[in-house]
Amino acid sequence: MKAALELDGVTIRYGGVQALANASLEVAPGRVLGLIGPNGAGKTTLINATTGIVPLSAGRVRLGGATISGMAPHRIARAGISRTYQNIRLFGALDVFANLSAGAFARPGRLDAAHAQALLERAGIRHLKLDARAGALPYGDQRRLEIARALAAEPAILMLDEPAAGMNPTETAHLVDTIRAIAASGIGVLLIEHDMSLVRAACDNVVVLNFGEVIATGTPDEIVADPAVIEAYLGTESV
Amino acid sequence: MNVLADFYAAHSKLIDQVGIDALLALSLSISLQAGQLALAQAAFMGVAAYISAILALDAHWSLLPAMLVAALCSTIVAGLLALPVRRLRGIFLAIATIAFGEIVRIVANNLTISGGAEGLSGIPADATTPWIYGTLVVVSIALWLFSRTKFALAIALVREDENAARGVGVDVGLVRFTTLAIGGTIAGLAGALYAHSNFFITPADFGFGRMEQILVWCVIGGITSPLGAAIGAALLTILPEAIRFLADYRDFVNGAILLVVVLFAPQGLAGIRFGKRG
Amino acid sequence: MVGQQLVNGLFLGAVYALFAIGYTLVFGVLDILNLAHAAIFMLAAFATWSLLGAGAPLWLAAPVAIAGAGILGIILDRIAFAPLRRRAAPNLIPLISSIGMAIIFGAIARAIYGPDERKFTLGFLDAAPLHAGPLTFTIVQLVILGSAIAFMLGLAWVMRATALGRAIRAVAEDRIAAALLGIDLERTIGATFFIASALGGLAGILTALQYNSVQVDMGAQIELKGLAVIVLGGMGSITGAVIGGFVIGMVETLAIALGLSGWSDAISYGVMFVILILRPTGLFGKRTLRTA
């Protein structure tokens, strides 16, 4: 299922705080869009807005041309948007197979073992046992299991919220391959990351957020050289 | 065979009680599996008990139709309760459902059709042991079949992490509504059977005391396991009788068992027996 | 006459308020509902009855029973809640643990006293009512109101003017921050249980005096009424428990006066239900629960 994700002037205001201001971007099928910005810039808010967890104050979100903003979160998920979470949200007490079945919940029929194995393969964790308890897995495997779970839904769009957090350089390099392979299968990927090497290696384009506003878009090379971006990052303590 | 017949004759009341208690425990365990501490089973039981009793006494209905209509009514009541409480979680849901249960009890206490505080008596005792255990078997099979559906997975997902469940496409509101409604149905069947095996019912039979008891069975048997809940009910119903010689200390033992399970084996007995995971 | 009914409502409300403060203190500090509170309410009444039976005067028996209730609260916490804190159990588990303790307390009472009602043989319980203008009240009611106000003022002083009170408020606000500030969590929680259970015990003694009846299941109604009070007042708020207690007491008494005696309880639970749906934090409640 190929469809582009478009955010059009998305604005989120709550409690007097402007979390997102007039944010517009597009995630095209088969392409990887990076979303970067200092902490608190609104990146996770943007994902939450897209998945329907947070209501929009203004603007629109479209998938394949159809408006999805305003729909209930579970409907948006069924429409073809899957995500991973900044703080891992696996179903920890359930086993690997149950987590993958959960991911495939919205798809007709049930997940079988072969299909589950294929998902683990795509996420780079083929060594995992289907009956292993998800919460007991090593951290890196858990992150990848979350990706596998998201893939189980056969989404049009996959949003990854800091999937490399806590990974070492070798693991991060493997993650690049995983992400590019996912995009190559036709899925549009939105990647939130702090790790610039991952962003440069995995992303076709990058959007930079600061204080809820898009301050730059372009290829990784372009935005790294963009003065507005440099100033935004130098103006804060951490990247 | 005579030994069995004698055993049954001596303990038929207890055997019937165990069957009904097991149904009640099953009805609560569904909600608990969805992570909802919805404590209105006693009220659902009461609604059905009264309706089936009234149908039998005033309209001379036989057991099966009375039971089915009564369970339908308790299901509707459960569905109606599910609507206003749909945003409540945790303790708030628990006490809202407790309040609901009290209101139902007070209504029964005040209406003439339910016999007021004295309740209804002379209910035909046609819920014999085969009826009770037949119902239990049917419900158990239905639940077992149900546990193999995708909806059952959805229930577990809602229990584990509601927001992640939404993220994979689970309609959390529908899951919560359905589990409450199913609980209402099963509790309703138990209520009708209770009325038709106890000759008389009063509002006090369906109050918070009964609700606490049902909760205790589920906890001891294993909160997330229907089989465990039924085991818990069976054990705690039989236990007081089996230790009758301890007479005054029965409740003490009940409470002590509950504490021990909560403190040392929170998965409940089913957890201990079948290994980890609910 | 409305004035008289309001006065009657005051006395009922005072007892509700005392009992509800016990619930709300524990909820505020631990986010849990202590369903053994009503059992301590009952045990304190029985303890007083026993002490009186042994020849002690009321002015000695009651305070001893109240202190005993407080200690029982500490024991309750040590057995049923503290072990779960160390395990970081989800907060529905302590609720169930408290039910276990309630069952045990009830069993102890039943074993010692049996299921029958006991009565007091105190002179002033049968004394003629007093009059102040058009209003009538009994000495018992004066005792109730007087001791309730005294204890509530005492509690207010503890909460505002002592280090313990500040510690309790800090722990209720943010347990982790309080610990970082050097507050001894376990001691503060223990003290909270002492105060909460002492107040619950006092409520039990006053109720027993008011109706001249002590019985093993005397706590059954107030256990649930107390929930309505803290929902109205806001779970975790002492002010809310006091105001909520008086409001519910008045509303119930007025309902009875208006001829709705069978429904007065339903009104309280109805109010409770509606508030939970529309405004779960009640009048003065904490922002939101820590967990869903």
Residue C170 sits at the vertex; the CA angle it makes with C166 and C175, to the nearest 5 degrees, is 150
Q: Is C148 on the interface with B (CB under 8 A)?
A: no
> Could you read off the pLDDT of B65-87 as tens digits, one per residue?
999 999 999 999 999 999 999 99
Closest residue of chain C to B98, computed from CA coordinates:
C224
DSSP per-residue string spanning B45-70? HHHHHHHHHHHHHHH---HHHHHHHH
Enumerate the β-bridge partners of residue C263.
none
Number of B–C residue contacts, CB under 8 Å: 135
Considering only CA atoms, give the Rg of chain A. Answer: 17
User: Looking at the partner chain, which of A77, A92, A94 has a beta carbon nearest the beta carbon of B168?
Assistant: A77
Q: Regarding predicted confidence, which is higher, B10 or B199?
A: B199
Report CB contact under 8 Å: A51, B167: yes
Residues of chain A with Cβ-Cβ distance to B172 below 8 Å are 74
Determine the residue among A53, A89, A90, A111 to mutate to test chain B binding: the one whose Cβ has the most chain B Cβ atoms within 10 Å.
A89
Q: How far apart are CA B69 and CA B77, in angstroms?
A: 12
**Mean pLDDT along residues A51-76:** 94
Q: Which residue of B has its CA nearest to C95?
A: B91
How much is the average pLDDT of A155-184?
Answer: 93
- What does the pLDDT read at residue B251? 72
Contacts with A105 from chain B: Cβ below 8 Å: 150, 153-154, 157, 168-170
List of residues 6+ apart from C86 with CB closer than 8 A: none
DSSP run (H or E) holding A19: strand A17-27
pLDDT digits (tens, 9 = 90+) for C91-114: 678 888 999 999 999 989 988 998
Q: Is C108 on the interface with B (CB under 8 A)?
A: yes
Helix (H) or strand (E) holding A188: strand A188-192
Greater confidence, B79 or B240?
A: B79
pLDDT of residue B217: 82
Q: Is B163 on the interface with A (CB under 8 A)?
A: yes
pLDDT at residue A15, rounded to an integer = 78
Task: Tell me what the mean pLDDT of segment A31-45 comes to.
Answer: 91
In a domain, B3, yes or no: no
Q: What is the DSSP string of C238-278?
A: HHHHHHHHHHHHHHHHHHHHTT-GGGHHHHHHHHHHHHHHH
B161 touches chain A (CB under 8 A): yes
Distance CA C66, CA C45 (A): 9
Shortest Cα–Cα distance, B272 to chain C (Å)? 17
What is the reported pLDDT for B277? 36
Which residues span the domain enclosing B104? 11-205
Helix (H/G/I), strand (E/B), else coil: A130: coil
**Residue of chain C with shortest Cα separation from B220:** C96
pLDDT tier, B227 (very low <50, low <70, confident <90, very high otherwise): low
| Cβ atoms A196, A208 nearer than 8 A | no
Q: What's the number of domains chain B is made of?
A: 1
Would strands A188-192 and A32-36 be described as parallel, antiparallel, or unpaired?
parallel
C3/C78: higher pLDDT? C78
Q: Is A33 helix (H, G, I), strand (E, B) or coil?
A: strand
| pLDDT value at B232 more than 80 | no
Which pair of tokens denotes residue C127?
A: 């004394």
pLDDT value of residue A239: 47
* Cβ separation B168–A83 shorter than 8 A: no
Position B243 scores a pLDDT of: 57
pLDDT band at C164 (very low <50, low <70, confident <90, very high): very high
Number of other CB atoms surrounding residue A22 within 10 Å: 15
Q: A91 vs B156: CB contact, 8 Å cut-off? A: yes
| Mean pLDDT across B2-26 | 84
Asked if the structure places residue B164 within a domain, the reply is: yes
The whole-angstrom distance between B161's CA and the closest CA on chain A is 7
Q: What is the mean pLDDT of residues A29-41?
A: 91
pLDDT tens, position by position, B105-148: 999 999 989 999 999 999 999 989 999 999 999 998 898 888 88
pLDDT tens for residues A201-220? 999 999 999 988 999 999 99
Per-position DSSP letters for B126-175, written without gaps between them: ---HHHHHHHHHHHHHHHHHHTTSHHHHHHHHHHH-HHHHHHTT--HHHH
B120 vs B195: CA distance, rounded Å: 9
Tell me: pLDDT of C242 over 90. yes
pLDDT band at C88 (very low <50, low <70, confident <90, very high): low
Q: What is the pTM of this model?
A: 0.91
pLDDT, position A40 = 80
Q: Over the stretch A65-80, which tens digit does the pLDDT of each residue have?
A: 999 999 999 999 999 9
The verdict on B189 touching A (C-beta cutoff 8 Å) is no
Whether B92 sits inside 8 A of C289 (CB atoms) is yes
Domain A5-80+155-234 indexed as CATH 3.40.50.300: yes
| Cβ-defined contact of B110 to C220 (cutoff 8 Å) | no
Q: In chain A, what are the domain boundaries?
A: 5-80+155-234, 90-150
> B269 CB contacts (<8 Å, ≥6 apart)?
B220, B221, B222, B228, B231, B232, B235, B261
pLDDT digits (tens, 9 = 90+) for B191-212: 999 999 998 999 999 999 999 8
Say how far apart CA C23 and CA C245 lie, in whole Å: 12
Q: What tokens were used for B223? A: 């909160």
Closest to B96 in 3D by CA, of B41, B43, B38, B45: B38
Q: Which of A51, A73, A91 sits opposite B160 (nearest CB)?
A: A91
Looking only at the bridges linking them, the beta strands covering A157-161 and A188-192 are parallel
From B59-73, B211-225, B246-260, the region with the lowest mean pLDDT: B246-260
Span C26-53, mean pLDDT? 95
By residue count, chain B amounts to: 278
Closest-CA distance, A155 to chain B, in angstroms, reads 10
CB contact under 8 A, C96 and B219: yes
- Measured in angstroms, the CA of B62 and the nearest CA of chain C are apart by 33
Q: Is B223 on the interface with A (CB under 8 A)?
A: no
Return the pLDDT at B244: 57
> What is the model's pLDDT at position A237?
43
Task: Give C200 to chain B, closest Cα distance, Å.
Answer: 20
SS3 B202: coil
Quick check: A236 pLDDT over 80?
A: no
